[in-house]
Amino acid sequence: MIDATAAGTGRAADGAPHGRSAVLAQPRDLPVGPMGRKGLGLWGVGTLIATEAALFSYLLFAYYYTGAAAPPGWLLESHPSLRLAVPNTIILLVSSGFAWYGETGVLRQRRSRALTGFGLALVLGTLFAVIQGFEWHQRPFRLGESSYASLYYITTGFHIAHVLIGLLVLAAIFLWTALDYFSPRRRLSVSAGVIYWHFVDIIWLFIFTTYYISPYLGFGR
Amino acid sequence: MRAVDFRSPTIGSDSPEHAARLERLWESSRGLKGFLGTVDHKQIGIRYIITAFIFLALGGIEALLMRLQLAGPNLSLLTPEQYNELFSTHGMTMIFLYASPILSGFSNYLWPLLLGSRDMAFPRLNALSYWIYLASGIFLYVGFLTGNGPNDGWFNYVPYAARDYNPGLNEDFYSLGMVFLGISTTIGAANFIVTALRTRAPGMSLNRLPILIWGTLTASAANLVVVPAVSLAFFMLWLDRQFGTHFFDPAGGGQPLLWQHLFWIFGHPWVYAIVLPAMGMVSQGLPVFCRRPLVGYAIVALSTVATMVLGFGVWVHHMFATGLPGLGLSFFSGASIAIVFPSAVAVFAWLATIWLGRPVITTAFLYFSSMILMFVVGGVSGFMTASVPVDWQLTDTYFVVAHIHYVLIGINVFPVLGAVYYWFPKMTGRMMDERLGRWNFWITFIGFNLAFLPMHVTGLLGMPRRVYTYPDGMGWDSLNLITTIGSFVLAAGILLFLFNVLKSLRSGAIADANPWDAPTLEWSVPSPPPPYNFAVIPTVASRYPLWEGRLGGRGSATSLDRGMLLESGKETVATSSMDATPDMIVEMPEDTTAPFALSIGTAVLFVGLLLKTWTVAVIGLLLLSAATLVWLWPRRELREREARP
Amino acid sequence: MSGVPLSYLHAAGQRADTILPLTWFTLIVSILVCIIIAALLWSGVRRARTGGGAAETRAVTVEPGADGGRWISLGLLISAVPLLATLIWTMVAIAATSGPPAHPGLTLDVTGHQWWWEVRYGATEPDQSFETANEIHIPVGVPVLIRLHGGDVIHSFWVPALTGKTDTIPGQTNFSWIEARQPGRYRGQCTEYCGSQHAHMGLEVVAQPPADFERWRAAQLLPARAPRTSAEQRGLAVVEYRCGLCHEVRGTQAGALAAPDLTHLMSRRTLAAGLLPNTPGNLVGWIENAQDIKPGALMPNQALTGEQLTDVQAYLESLQ
């Protein structure tokens, strides 16, 4: 809190005696370093999310642009199978829930809760990646088949890359929590990492809607 | 002293002991560790500026070679391949390796000083953005110097950029190099945004921000969200070329125009990003030489933002000839005409500042004021191309080449040259030679206009762009000769500028803290500033702290002599985003070579990708990840600082 | 043709006619704006203290000065007038020039190739169909629809006296249209960078009175004239055997479609997409040494013997 007392010298900053008195910031009790969710690092993660979200919007733009201009039959599967994709989406969302749960563990200084949460998030995230890989393997088309195929693989590919980085982040958070680096106040890395993981999940919802749902709504057929 | 979670910062004044203590805390390490590991924004800023000027010189040499080839009809100084690589590399160098980094360099150096802070919000990220810029610039130039430079222009349209028509490594160097460079731009943008919003001096509310901050902040916000478009486009191109994907090739269901959309969605905001900070520099420096505040600060700040926002909605004006339907053409044409409005605000503000001020002619003033006219020339030629039917005749002729050089040299290079004259004393502690400066200015000004003013006519007479030669009998011969002569005069002017810089570094008059009697905070610290910038954190009370007594008004005064000392460690203060009330003490990082190592890892990764040697790429990836992990490793002492009851 | 063949400051056709006044308007407005701003700047700067440096700057006292905001408003207000006028005129002109014309009298298909223009007439009626290259003939006063196809990379079709630029893009068909007001030869050029010989991808539009156009068209429809001399006979054999790998000469065995149609080669004024006048010397030089004249062109140097060259020349020159 700033205490703006007129505790100056009675002279203006450039020395001219004008009856202007200096306003002086005399804050009390400022936190030293990042505290709770307040810290420059969170703003940094915010800018990262902004730029990555932009990246994914351009990927989806490419899909809609190419699809809108394409002749019928562009969709290689007019009704993409949801058999794996829907459960996989749920798995990812649940992993986000566990990550949040783990963060509350750090907030309440319950290390076991934190480790459980991060650990399960990590496991489910890995499961998502494995299932996605299996889905890729099962697809009848490969990367170079057509523009649809290329867009499908590059978009889900970029997403999986972000998932993998997110898994590394979760693993690091898990390790650092285990090593007792965090406390309710000192845990900005945890908040940043968990926010990143939530972001990866939300992006998946957009991709899922575009590639798996929009064909059912008539786009690209 | 017991480490604590909260602290009430000591208030006091400067003293020799205090200064010595801060000096020890903030100075860069010596030797190689300091060179590779410094996180001091001033050193990083100067590195950016020097590197960018080197690229300016390289791009200039490329241009001179091109002008020699075009001095007359049917010359054969260069083969078509050589010419085509030259014009493409010239464009890439100037637009990507000079125009943005030079402004990043100035902003890096100046921002903490302007904002009353001791460094940027993320000093290590700052170092990283420089090393990646350097590495990607070298990467791109290795391509050029081995005969594999870009050869499809700087905007690189497909299908010509695709493997069928362009089998060599040229386009792979360009594609991967641009993705590489984009990393630097993005993290630089992130750093600027957080710094502007979170690490200002107490009391520096948004309406008191130096106008230069508005320019770079706006550009950074734009870059953050548009650079991914071009990085994605280049990455997709690389995949099409090397992995048989079909993003852009019609045979596989791809769309050649997808490239153009993605590129210009990035490209148009980009050209505003490389001029708005420079306009901010003019808005910052011109009023000093008119001995009054800038006219219309608020509307200039808002028009900066408005120009950028509108700038997101005009990209199709680069694609008017591609066969788009009339409705789309009309919308984008209208938006492109509308954007003249906010861009013109700055021109009127500057003219009013000169008219309603008491101008003093110095070299810096000459550069800042002459750019107003060149801005307008570039602006009106842009206005002409905004009208679709007119553009159908003008586009892809030398008229557009004239336009882009007036806006780029007029709104970027001239302000930069002026900025060097203006801030050189602060950066080096010496004044530049004014007499040499006049010669430098006039030769540059005359050379530039001699080269590019006739180019409008060359364009109107139909000379197309990107031609390595032209037949005689087209009516273009003498105009091209004049342009070539002008370009050499311009080059001489730049050489004289460089000579003045070097001479003044050695023997310029010693400068004190505020040789120009300027109003903003950077002029309240010694020249050059100590590594910690401010011994005492200022509390700001107005937009022009050092002019307060003379501008009337009854408000309180900025406190420069007394304030937070922040000497318990390497510290600065973070403030709230709107009103700049202090809300955190930020502990700044020591010198570290992690950013350098990360850049090396990234470079190795990209080399591996270029050569499709996956082992190398994986090694790069591992190095990159290790450096990141080391960088982000938490500090246990923070945890152990819990206030014990 | 004028001394400045690619200038767009004069128009000779409907579409260019609509654009030209707007071009002049914006140009004049622009020049006036520059002059006014230059004058304002000059008078502002003229009052300045000259010969200044740091000391001279410090010597002038800092004063708050007048508000000045209304000058910005005034400037914006004045700027709004030509901007608005241009906006409205632009919308009108877009509507007028977008075309394509509702009832074109003639439809052509033009395909851009590296580095020549393929021109096909009568594509929809096989017995009225023929192909030529780099030279387009049209009847005066008739709106001509041009369908633009992308052959390899993006090129741009431009004949400044008649119309603005429209790209040829692989995977889509674009449209341009031209209507000449009077007879004449109008120079055109590719205006989208397309590779090493982008500089030498010109074309010509020849506007003729309708009767002359019909005569030209009828002549173009005919297959190649049969060889009359033995030299021409021998030349035909070489043409079929060698040139026919890429070129077509209708009525002979030379039937490939990768290069310009040569059936009526001598009816064209230029060679190599406007690069060379179509003279015997140039023709021989081109066949022998295309790579020296247009390095990178897809026509390789032909290692013909002197005799073969003479015979080929004789035959080709018979293709009127």
All residues of chain B having their beta carbon less than 8 Å from the beta carbon of residue C27 are 384, 460
d(CA B28, CA B589): 11
- The pLDDT-based confidence of B642 (bands split at 50, 70, 90) is low
Beta carbons within 10 angstroms of residue C24's beta carbon: 12
Do the chains contact at A30 and B584, CB–CB below 8 Å?
Answer: yes
Please report, to the nearest 10 degrees, the dihedral formed by the alpha carbons of residues B284, B287, B292, B295 taken in order: -80
All residues of chain B having their beta carbon less than 8 Å from the beta carbon of residue C49 are 358-361
Lookup result for tokens 């090493």: C196
How far B390 CA lies from chain A's nearest CA (Å)? 28
- Which tens digits make up the pLDDT trace of B81-108? 999 999 999 999 999 999 999 999 999 9
Q: What angle do CA B335, B339, B340 make, to 5 degrees?
A: 130
d(CA B302, CA B281): 16
- The pLDDT-based confidence of B479 (bands split at 50, 70, 90) is very high
Closest CB from A25, A51, A181 relative to B224: A51
Predicted TM-score (pTM) of the model is 0.96
Do the chains contact at C19 and B361, CB–CB below 8 Å?
Answer: no
pLDDT above 90 for C218: yes
All residues of chain A having their beta carbon less than 8 Å from the beta carbon of residue B189 are 47, 51
Question: Do residues B431 and B392 make contact, with C-beta atoms less than 8 angstroms apart?
Answer: no
* DSSP secondary structure code for residue C123 in this structure: T
d(CA A189, CA A170): 10
Is the minimum CB–CB distance between A139 and chain B shorter than 8 Å? Answer: no
- Which tens digits make up the pLDDT trace of C46-88? 988 777 899 999 999 999 999 999 999 999 999 999 999 999 9
- Which tens digits make up the pLDDT trace of B40-71? 999 999 999 999 999 999 999 999 999 999 99
Tokens of B443: 């030769």
pLDDT above 70 for A59: yes
Is the minimum CB–CB distance between A51 and chain B shorter than 8 Å? Answer: yes
Where is average pLDDT lowest: B141-145, B185-189, B625-629, B641-645?
B641-645
CB contacts under 8 A, B 213-242 vs C, are none
Do the chains contact at B337 and C170, CB–CB below 8 Å?
Answer: no
Closest CB from A24, A154, A168 relative to B239: A154
Q: Give the pLDDT of residue A19.
A: 57
Do the chains contact at C275 and B340, CB–CB below 8 Å?
Answer: no
For residues B333-356, average pLDDT? 96
Question: Do residues B449 and B525 make contact, with C-beta atoms less than 8 angstroms apart?
Answer: no
- Which tens digits make up the pLDDT trace of A109-133? 999 999 999 999 999 999 999 999 9
Beta carbons within 10 angstroms of residue C115's beta carbon: 26
Q: Which residue of C has its CA nearest to B467?
A: C199
Question: Do residues A185 and B6 make contact, with C-beta atoms less than 8 angstroms apart?
Answer: no
All residues of chain A having their beta carbon less than 8 Å from the beta carbon of residue B636 are 181
Tokens of C189: 């050029």
- Which tens digits make up the pLDDT trace of B230-272? 999 999 999 999 999 999 999 999 999 999 999 999 999 999 9
pLDDT above 90 for B644: no
Q: Give the pLDDT of residue A10.
A: 42
For residues B276-302, average pLDDT? 97
Mean pLDDT of chain A: 90
d(CA C183, CA A167): 73
Q: Which residue of C has its CA nearest to B366?
A: C45
End-to-end CA distance of chain C: 23
CB contacts under 8 A, A 186-215 vs B, are 186, 189
Do the chains contact at C76 and B345, CB–CB below 8 Å?
Answer: yes
All residues of chain B having their beta carbon less than 8 Å from the beta carbon of residue C201 are none
Is the minimum CB–CB distance between A141 and chain B shorter than 8 Å? Answer: no
Q: Give the pLDDT of residue C2.
A: 66
CB contacts under 8 A, C 261-300 vs B, are 275, 295-296
Interface probe for B, chosen from A24, A63, A151 (most Cβ of B below 10 Å), is A24
Is the minimum CB–CB distance between A175 and chain B shorter than 8 Å? Answer: no
Closest CB from B228, B586, B629 relative to A55: B228
For residues C237-254, average pLDDT? 94
Beta carbons within 10 angstroms of residue B6's beta carbon: 14
All residues of chain B having their beta carbon less than 8 Å from the beta carbon of residue C153 are 157-160, 165
pLDDT above 90 for B628: yes
Three-class DSSP category at C89: helix
Is the minimum CB–CB distance between A96 and chain B shorter than 8 Å? Answer: no
Is the minimum CB–CB distance between A7 and chain B shorter than 8 Å? Answer: yes
CB contacts under 8 A, B 379-408 vs C, are 380-381, 383-384, 386-397
| Interface pTM, i.e. ipTM | 0.96
Question: Do residues C153 and B248 make contact, with C-beta atoms less than 8 angstroms apart?
Answer: no
Closest CB from B4, B197, B549 relative to A18: B549
Do the chains contact at C91 and B296, CB–CB below 8 Å?
Answer: no
Is the minimum CB–CB distance between C80 and chain B shorter than 8 Å? Answer: yes
CB contacts under 8 A, B 501-560 vs C, are 511, 515-517, 519, 547, 550-552
pLDDT above 60 for A14: no
Estimate to the nearest angstrom the gap between the alpha carbon of C196 and the chain centroid.
17
Do the chains contact at C34 and B384, CB–CB below 8 Å?
Answer: no
How far C236 CA lies from chain B's nearest CA (Å)? 33
pLDDT above 80 for A7: no
Do the chains contact at B323 and C165, CB–CB below 8 Å?
Answer: no
How far B62 CA lies from chain A's nearest CA (Å)? 33
